[in-house]
Amino acid sequence: MGQLTRRNFICGPVALFPTVLLASARRVGAQLPSPASAGPADPKLIEDLVAANRILVDQGVLDGYGHVSVRHDRAPDRYLMSRSIAPELVTAADVMEYDLDSSPVDPRGRSMYLERFIHGEIYRARPDVLAIVHHHSPSVIPFGVTGAALRPVYHMAAFLGEGVPVFEIRQAAGMTDLLVRNGPLGRALAQTLGPRNAVLMRGHGAVVVGPTIVHAVARSVYMESNARLQAQAMALGNVTYLDPEEARRADAAVSGTYDRPWELWKRKALSR
Ligand code: MN
């Protein structure tokens, strides 16, 4: 089924129709078989995923919306994410398993995030990505709607040094409700992200990826800080951004130390 969907998409715009029909069939409740479970994930991974939800709210990246996922540690074609609830309320019992078509394993009637296709399609396109955050963090929104490029103004956001593209959903699908609510939209977003660490979504938010959940969370927190600081700097005058070579070196220096803020953020978030 996933193969068929993918082939249709690759064949070009005309071939999108079968995909659209399939999506309609899903909406009206056609019973597609649930994928079998890849087996239990490492409990530490689930624990980190729950902590990530709480941290991202505590740090002002997520509110009642947005989501974070991790790739299954034993099955690269599966990922783990909460059922559709506010991130601050997520517990281990809320975590569901999905395949890369973002079809749920054993859904048991639980509601699912409409935009889960962001996760499935990026995991499919990027074997190096093991965790993904989708957020509507307020300070990043202006950079998606003005043409002002989001660029690193300090070393903690050096991971932005390779540039942050903007996903224009109108280019992919014309007039929409701005939600990435199916596989083709998720694939278009993954294509705009390319090999980079983050992508802005015009009029909506952003997606941040990482090689671990700690990276994805820390990058999300520092993306928000950088956006706020960059807007302040731009209001003051000409901004000197990190040189791409400085960004490369600073990212190498900083990214191995994210465990330090993670432990702090986790203690604070879980004590509330
Ligand atoms: Mn969203």
**Could you write out the DSSP letters of every residue in 143-184?**
HHHSSPPP--SSGGGGGGTT---EE-HHHHHSS--S---SHH
The verdict on 23 and 96 lying in the same domain is no
The verdict on 135 and 173 lying in the same domain is yes
Q: What's the pLDDT score for residue 179?
A: 98
Find out whether 68 and 129 touch, Cβ atoms under 8 Å.
no
Q: Is the dihedral of CA 137, 138, 140, 144 positive or negative?
A: positive
Query: How many Å lie between the centroid of ligand 1 and the Cα of residue 66?
Result: 6
Whether residue 165 lies inside any domain: the answer is yes
**C-alpha to C-alpha distance for 106 and 194, rounded to whole angstroms:** 31
The verdict on 6 and 136 lying in the same domain is no
Q: What's the pLDDT score for residue 272?
A: 87
Q: What's the pLDDT score for residue 31?
A: 57
The verdict on 5 and 108 lying in the same domain is no
Whether residue 237 lies inside any domain: the answer is yes
Whether residue 174 lies inside any domain: the answer is yes
Which 3 state secondary structure label does DSSP give 240?
coil
The verdict on 24 and 129 lying in the same domain is no
For residue 245, the domain's CATH number is 3.40.225.10
The verdict on 125 and 244 lying in the same domain is yes
The verdict on 259 and 140 lying in the same domain is yes
Whether residue 37 lies inside any domain: the answer is no
The verdict on 68 and 190 lying in the same domain is yes
Whether residue 250 lies inside any domain: the answer is yes
Determine the structural domain holding residue 25 and report its residue range: 1-32
Could you say which of 47, 88, 97, 115 is catalytic? Answer: 115
**C-alpha to C-alpha distance for 266 and 93, rounded to whole angstroms:** 19
The verdict on 21 and 75 lying in the same domain is no
> What string of pLDDT tens digits covers the 272 residues of the chain?
334 344 333 333 434 434 444 444 444 445 568 999 999 999 999 999 999 999 999 999 999 999 999 999 999 999 999 999 999 999 999 999 999 999 999 999 999 999 999 999 999 999 999 999 999 999 999 999 999 999 999 999 999 999 999 999 999 999 999 999 999 999 999 999 999 999 999 999 999 999 999 999 999 999 999 999 999 999 999 999 999 999 999 999 999 999 999 999 999 999 98
The verdict on 74 and 209 lying in the same domain is yes
Whether residue 38 lies inside any domain: the answer is no
Query: How many Å lie between the centroid of ligand 1 and the Cα of residue 217?
Result: 16
pTM of the full predicted structure? 0.89
Query: How many Å lie between the centroid of ligand 1 and the Cα of residue 157?
Result: 22
Residues with Cβ within 8 Å of residue 244, at least 6 apart in sequence: 161, 162
Residue 115 known to be catalytic? yes
User: What domain count does the chain have?
Assistant: 2
The verdict on 114 and 6 lying in the same domain is no
Buried b (16+ CB within 10 A) or exposed e, 212-247: bbbbbbbbbbbbbbbbbbbbebeeeeeeebbeeeeb
Q: Which residues are paired to 68 by β-bridges? A: 133
Q: What's the pLDDT score for residue 253?
A: 97
Whether residue 205 lies inside any domain: the answer is yes
Find out whether 57 and 63 touch, Cβ atoms under 8 Å.
yes
Whether residue 150 lies inside any domain: the answer is yes
**C-alpha to C-alpha distance for 272 and 260, rounded to whole angstroms:** 19
Query: How many Å lie between the centroid of ligand 1 and the Cα of residue 245?
Result: 32
Q: Which residues are paired to 132 by β-bridges? A: 69, 209
Q: Nearest 5°: phi and psi at 81?
A: -160, 155
Query: How many Å lie between the centroid of ligand 1 and the Cα of residue 162?
Result: 23
